[in-house]
Amino acid sequence: MARVPPAVRLRQVTKVYAHSRVEVHALRGVDLDVEPGEMVAITGPSGSGKSTLLHVAGALDLPTAGELAVLGEDLRALSDDRLAAFRRRRLGFVFQFFNLLPTLSACENAALPLLLDGRGRREALARGAALLERVGLGDRLDHRPDELSGGQQQRVALARALAGDPALLLADEPTGNLDSEAGARVLDLLDEARRAQGLTVVLVTHDPGVAARADRVVRLKDGRVDQVTRPAQPGDAP
Amino acid sequence: MRALVGPVALRRVRLEPGRTALLVAGVALGVAVFVAVRALNQTAVATLGKVGQVAAGGAALVVEGGAGGVPLDLLPALRAVEGVAAAAPIVARFAREPVADQAGPDAADAPRVLVLGLDLLDPAAREVAAGRDVGVSLDPAALLLPRPALVAAPFARRRGLAPRQPFELFAREGRASFVVAGVFEPRGPAAEVTGGDLVVLPLGLALEAFGPEGRADRVAVSLADGADADGVAAGLRAVVAAAPGGAGLRVDAPGAGALQPGALLGTMQLGLTIASLLALVVGQFLIYNAMSIAVVRRRPELGVLRAVGASRAHLALLLLAEALAFGAVGSALGLGLGALLADAALGLVNAQVTQLYAMLDARRATLDASTVALGLLAGPLATVLASVPPVVSALTVSPVEAARKDPPRGRADRAVRALAAVGAAALLGSAGWYVASAGQSIPEGALLLVGVAGGAALLAPWAASRAVTLLRPLLARLGPTGALAADALLVRPGRAGVTVAALMVALGGVLAISGLVRSLERAVTTWVAQVLVADIYCAASNPLGSQGNTLLDAEQVQAALLEVEGVASAYPIRFVFEEATTRARGGDERRGQALVMAFDLAFLGDHSRIPVTASVDGGLKGAIARILERPADRVAISSNLARARGIGVGDRVTLRTPEGPWSPEVVLCVVDYSSEHGCVYVDLPEYRRRWSDPRANAFDLFVRPGADPAAVAADLRRRLGGRYDLFVTENAAFRRQVLVVVEGAFTVTYAMQVIAIGVALLGVVTTLLATALERTRELGVLRAVGATRGQVRRTIVTEAALLGALAGAFAAGLGAAMGLALVTRIVSGQYGWDLEYVYPWGQALWGGALATALAALAGALPAERAARLEVVRALEGE
């Protein structure tokens, strides 16, 4: 039986930022495979390269060197417009600070990737409304972000991330700005979506509780993979 | 605090050269328009004044006689007054130079020289007239040459003239030849006015060539040692009053004559004043925007500074000091740019003033000390004023809030509503004033226009916000870029509104002037069809009858014209600005310039269908017959003079003439757009008798039945064009030229307004840069969730186009309001013309479309910047 290619494949990926006269080596030869349907938590101290890894895997930034394939695509070979299309059709993002557009309603925010993709407004908004219903915000469709609590905003962000039926969802500290109850709700919804859609999830977190929900925990240190562990799963032998 | 200026303020200048350049350019352009307009106004007034002072700089007193001049036979009596050391007659005229190979007056822009006629043989007179100003040194033997002329060195160099060489100028009998008797270095007003194109002739030769003979333009008087100027002036006045033909003369200090150049320039100054005011308003908006972008950029930095202990006062001073520095640099650049702009526009002003008021040939725009001071002050002042709102808004938040990369939103709403209320009140007040007043003076009118424009500008942000709210559903249908563009404007109604207001005011100003021009054109088109009935028009040195004509000997040229085959009749016309005093029925005496038009009045009755507004017997012909019965006691006037002065049929108008005040009765009022100062029509023989002036500015010609006017005109050009520098124009072309003059009267105003629009468009750039900067994180999110660079670009360009479209739409309304006030209150109140307001639909539509397109174009730079943002850095809000 042929082996299914990994959802994310990094080989000797480096990322160097040039700040004025100083070079910052954010990633120094990272090798990582994330299998389809897997949930991987990236942890590590500040400055270890967690967010950079997420940005590179999420086609927000390109590596300085190394091989990078996401969902079978060599991202380095794609033009900027094709990268944008790749992000809106194949990927979903959830950010720590929600990053909703403040002038759009919850429904418009949720439907944004579809609207950008040129789908009909009615169809896109219907999909946005359905997703908000799914995350428990069916009664907040016309609310603007500043009329919602932090937890609600993050649920809108999750709905937006799911709008394009992505195969890979990337989350940067998705609960970092939420209280524990709201954080747990978001993670539950994420799990639910992952199970329902067979999503691959890569999330960055400082929270061991969040990392414990992942299939694998990759710890970065100074831009390198320092340690890979498998948290105990329900059903594992004690 | 001083220690922070370098690292915090000045280092930014180096790190962000684009923003610095934009801000400085904004200040510089605003100041440049203000300075240029002021310099043009002042140059025109000063040059006209200096022409009046030329060759009288050494004099303590001047005897002058207005258009009629001073009889030379008064000289012995003037010289005999106790305390008079010398009395020097002076003639000063502009003359066109024939250009090489000129067969006719094709070279409409051929150079002109100032010709001074001085009594060169009287050493005392020469000292008074020429010693200080003109700088003539003279070898008396040179005057023995035939038709000797002393020429200024710059003129001699330009023409390649050497002593004893002949040269030609156009004079009253056509080409006149002179011989270079000497070359001198000019100085004083004469050199300033002419740039060195100056020729000095012996008085007799000047009078023979340019006329009228026996009269000087003025007499410069110097005092004997120890003589009291007031006493001598009183003595001169007594002599003048007692002498035959002396009653119309005045004795004054040099330059204090009856002709007040500032009062003469009328609509040109009105247009420029409006342009200058609007440029200031628009410039202020731009500076506000540019400063607000600077403060937005600084917010996190300000938060940090406050967190580490800097007080609000410290930071306010820091920002205001920076604004002051930008303002000073921008002002200095603006001053230079304004001088260049004024020089570039000087030709237009010369042509306009010459056409409408008086011969003007200013060579260089001059910035006087007050203009320089105001220009240097305007930039820093405007920058500091414009900085106050953004600085206050940045410093009234807590350090934590300030340090956030995303500034707080929505604070502006209340301010926008409050300003809108003030704006609405200003508009209502202006409307009330408009309804309550029948006519307004220029200062009152300027205040009314500022009220309308200011009110509309204050209302614009709120109105723009309401309009975008209404348009949003429609824009959302265009896709997310449309909705996001609308939202960007709604989030910060203040900044977007300021940009809309600036563009609206600039465009509204253009539409107001266009409305005035269209209204004048409609009135004048109808009028010329009724009045301009001759087949051919001839004038020397200028295609139209204007103050730039070479004055021709009427009888000689009339005879020459009649010799041309096909010419049936030729009517000479002489017009001259003269002081006219009127007493309104309420008893209000008013004195000012009026255009005296002298021609065969029977011609008016026989040929034209000039509209009559009041007549002693109800009609045109009857009233003309009455004048011709007693031309020494009756005249006609234009309806705008009647209206502006509050006089009518049966009243008297007192004209200053060389033989003293003349107060004929008004028996006819007709519609005439020849001069905003109003016209008095005098029968030509009566004018010649009273003014002793046999010259003409122009001729109206009728061809014989069956003759082809085009062929006759061609024959006239061939036979007389080169001889008299004669422009020969057929009826249809002449009518077109009249309309061109109407349009041309506002060319400079248009030019200044176009710059104001440019300034406003820079405002679009700064606004979009500022909003893109504030929305960096949003743009990053957009890109992260899949927006292409093109979509980001489209969002910003749509936003820009929306700003332009709103400004265009609002300007259509503002232009109508300002135009209506201009046409029906200010022009009618000031000049007495009863115009029907014509809305410039074409310009409004084009202006709106152009504003939208140009704003979209102005959005290209910020759009490109936004599209090029690195997603990751944008998400971090950097």
Residues B33/B301, Cβ–Cβ less than 8 Å: no
> How much is the average pLDDT of A115-133?
91
H or E, element range at B356: helix B312-356
Structure tokens at B539: 């004038």
Query: How, if at all, do strands A73-74 and A65-70 pair?
Result: antiparallel
Q: Quick one: average pLDDT of B586-607?
A: 85
Instruction: For chain B, give the number of residues.
Output: 878
Residue B289 has pLDDT above 80, yes or no: no
Residues of A with CB below 8 A from B479's CB?
A: 115, 118, 121
pLDDT for residue B817:
93
- Long-range CB contacts (< 8 A, 24+ apart) of A110-114? A110/A156, A110/A159, A110/A160, A110/A163, A111/A160, A111/A163, A112/A160, A112/A163, A112/B480, A112/B782, A112/B785, A113/A88, A113/A89, A113/A160, A113/A163, A113/A164, A113/B785, A113/B786, A114/A163, A114/A164
Range name among A93-107, B395-409, B646-660 with the lowest pLDDT average: B395-409
Write down the pLDDT at residue B5: 55
Burial of B744 (0-12, 13-18, 19+ CB in 10 A): middle
**Domain residue ranges in chain B:** 1-54+262-404, 57-254, 412-534+735-878, 551-724
Assign B436 a pLDDT band (cuts: 50, 70, 90). Answer: confident
- Residue B288: pLDDT over 70: yes
What is the ipTM metric for this complex?
Answer: 0.86
Is the pLDDT reported for residue B359 higher than 70? Answer: no
More confident residue, B51 or A62: A62
CA B627/CA A45 separation, integer angstroms: 106
How much is the pLDDT for B851? 87
Does the structure show a pLDDT above 70 at B137? Answer: no
Summarised one tens digit per residue, pLDDT across range B223-276 is: 888 888 888 888 888 888 877 666 667 787 765 544 444 455 556 666 676 677
The pLDDT of residue A69 is above 90: yes
- Predicted local distance difference test score (pLDDT) of residue B102: 47
Mark yes or no for CB contact A117/B786 under 8 Å. yes
State what percent of residues in chain B have pLDDT above 90: 18
Choice among B175-189, B453-467, B662-676, B834-848 with the minimum mean pLDDT = B175-189
A174 pLDDT above the threshold of 80? yes
From the list B477, B784, B790, the residue facing A87 with the nearest CB is B784
Range with the poorest average pLDDT among A21-25, B541-545, B642-646, B777-781: B541-545
Render B516-581 in DSSP notation, one character per residue.
HHHHHHHHHHHHHHHH---SEEEEESSSSSSTTSPPEEHHHHHHHHHHSTTEEEEEEEEEEEEEEE
* pLDDT above 90 for B95: no
Is residue A110 classed as helix, strand or coil in its secondary structure? helix
- pLDDT at position B683 is 95
Confidence of residue B12 (pLDDT cuts 50, 70, 90): low
Residue A104 contacts B where some CB pair is shorter than 8 Å: yes
- Binned at pLDDT 50, 70 and 90, residue B26 comes out as confident
Q: Which residue of B has its CA nearest to A108?
A: B480
* C-alpha to C-alpha distance for B459 and B419, rounded to whole angstroms: 7
Q: Hey, where are the domains in chain A? A: 8-229
Mean pLDDT over B440-460 rounds to: 85
The whole-number average pLDDT for the span A15-38 is 87
CB contact under 8 A, B871 and A115: no
| Residue with token string 């990633």 | A27
Amino acid identity for residue B405 in this structure = K
**A134 pLDDT higher than 70:** yes
pLDDT above 90: residue B530: no
Which candidate from B477, B480, B777 shows the least CB-CB separation from A116? B480
A134: enclosing H helix or E strand: helix A121-134
Mean pLDDT of the B831-856 span: 87
Answer whether residue B491 shows pLDDT above 90: no
Q: What whole-number distance in Å separates Cα of residue B78 and Cα of residue A131?
A: 104
* Chain A residues within 8 A of B782 when measuring between CB atoms: 101, 112, 116
Would you say residue B7 has pLDDT above 60?
no
User: What average pLDDT does the segment A7-24 reach?
Assistant: 86
Q: Of A12-26, A204-218, B629-643, which gets the smallest average pLDDT?
A: A12-26
Q: Is the pLDDT of residue B685 over 90?
A: yes
What is the pLDDT, as a whole number, of residue B634?
95
- Contacts (Cβ under 8 Å, ≥6 apart) of B456: B423, B427, B501, B504, B505, B508, B810, B813, B814, B817
Q: Considering CB atoms only, which of A81, A93, A118 is closest to B784?
A: A93
- If one compares B581 and B145, the residue with the highest pLDDT of the two is B581
What pLDDT shows up at residue B258?
40
When pLDDT is averaged across residues A96-112 and rounded to a whole number, the result is 88
Tokens of B479: 């896709």
Instruction: Dump strand ranges (E) for chain A.
Output: 8-19, 22-34, 39-43, 65-70, 73-74, 91-94, 168-172, 200-204, 216-221, 224-229
CB contact under 8 A, B785 and A88: yes
CB contact under 8 A, A112 and B480: yes
Residue B380: partners with Cβ closer than 8 Å, 6 or more residues away: B323, B324, B327, B328, B331
At residue B220 the predicted structure's pLDDT band, cuts being 50, 70 and 90, is: confident
pLDDT above 50 (res B104): no
Q: Mean pLDDT across chain A, nearest whole number? A: 89
Task: Express each pLDDT in A70-83 by its tens digit.
Answer: 999 998 888 888 98
Measured between CA atoms, how close is A234 to chain B, in angstroms?
Answer: 34
Mutate: best of A19, A20, A81, A115, partner B, most B CBs <10 A? A115
Q: Report how far residue B761's alpha carbon sits from residue B808's, in angstroms, rounded to the nearest whole number.
A: 12
Q: At residue B411, does pLDDT exceed 60?
A: no
pLDDT of residue B531 exceeding 70, the answer is yes
Q: Is A101 on the interface with B (CB under 8 A)?
A: yes
Q: What is the Rg, in whole angstroms, of the alpha carbon atoms belonging to chain B?
A: 32
**Is pLDDT at B6 greater than 70 in this prediction?**
no
- Mean pLDDT of all residues in B843-870: 88
Class of domain A8-229: alpha beta
CB contact under 8 A, A104 and B872: no
- For the stretch B315-343, pLDDT in tens is 788 778 888 888 888 889 988 888 888 88
Calculate the average pLDDT of chain B: 80
Provide mean pLDDT across the span B707-732.
86
Please judge whether A99 and B787 are an interchain contact, meaning their C-beta atoms are less than 8 angstroms apart: no
pLDDT of residue B259: 44
**What is the amino acid identity at position A86?**
F
